Every structure is written in C-alpha cells, then in structure tokens.
Amino acid sequence: MIKTSFNVFLQTKLEEQIQNSESMITSDAESALEVEIRPNPRTLNLFPWTIRKTLTIEDVGFFGGLQLSEEQVGERIFRHWESPGRAKEKVEIVMRDLDTDTYHNLLLRKFPNDKNYTIYEFWIEEFVLRRQLKIGMVIGLYWDLKDRVLCFSVLYDDDDDNDSLN
C-alpha cells in the first residue's frame, strides 16, 4: 500500500513580497510537494508479530512446508477461531503477504506422529520461490482478526545488511 500526501508550504513574508512585486502568479499545483509514504512492517511496531521464525531447511526445502509449533499455532492462531476443533484436520487458511500485498490460499495441518503443524500446498511456489526465501531469514506472522487471514512479512534478511554496506 502506497499513501501519497500533498503538502503546501506557506511562503515567508519576504517570498510573498518578492512575488507580489514581480507580479508572478503561481498555481497551487506548483507549490505542492508530493511525498510517498511506504509503510514498512519490519520497522513499525504497529503490527503484532505474535510469531517470529527463523527459516530452516524444513521450511524452505522442496518437500517441506512452513513448520510451526503446537504452542505457536494454538496460542496465536487457533485461539482466534470460532471452532478450533477443526484444527485436527486439514484446514484451509488465507495468508496475506504484507510486503507484496497479495493473498494466498494454503493448507494448515498437523500430520500424524508429527509434533509441529505445517503450512503447505503452494507454500513452496507462492512464498519460497516467489519471494526467494532462504535459510536464516526471519519472518513474522500474526492473525488478523478483522480480515481473518494470517499475515506474513520478511522481517530480516542477511542480504539487506549486505546491500546497506555497499
């Protein structure tokens, strides 16, 4: 989401006198300054990142999915659902990528004999490949109560540090 705001700055007394003396007429458009404000969820504390996760090989590997612990899913996602009993089954969830403002349909499931929940079914295509996620990146997740979606953002990437050094 890009917000654009326009600010018109008032002239000083001297600038006003010079303008009047030269009989210059300027339009409001010429005195307006366009400023783009891009929200950055990595630096703003406006987003309640209830789940922060450093990606592992299981999260970004070709046969894997995003692994979340029972505690993370139970306390930070299921508690907001009306019928968390469905969580034992395969459940469709919508995940919103806040960095690209896109929505993705994924599945959440706890496989038998597995201690973690897994977000899969297009996780690799829609997130790992498209966003070029790598081991060591830190992501943030939270359940959006209003839209009833799981929000996602890359909070930290080692490449960000390398780019800022150059």
Domain that holds residue 33: 3-37
User: Of 136, 62, 132, nearest to 97 (Cα)?
Assistant: 132
Does a structural domain hold residue 43? no
Highest mean pLDDT among 5-9, 39-43, 79-83: 79-83
Residue 148 has pLDDT above 50, yes or no: yes
Does a structural domain hold residue 123? yes
Whether 33 and 55 map to the same domain: the answer is no
Whether 32 and 69 map to the same domain: the answer is no
Question: Using CA atoms, how far apart are residues 85 and 37, in angstroms rounded to an integer?
Answer: 42
Q: Which helix (H) or strand (E) holds 60?
A: helix 57-60
Domain count, the chain: 2
Whether 106 and 27 map to the same domain: the answer is no
Q: Supply the pLDDT for residue 20.
A: 78
Whether 102 and 138 map to the same domain: the answer is yes
Q: Supply the pLDDT for residue 83.
A: 60
In terms of pLDDT, which residue wins out, 117 or 5?
117
Per-residue pLDDT tens digits for 70-119: 888 877 787 667 665 555 668 888 999 999 999 999 988 888 888 888 88
Does a structural domain hold residue 44? no
Q: Which amino acid type is present at position 121? A: E
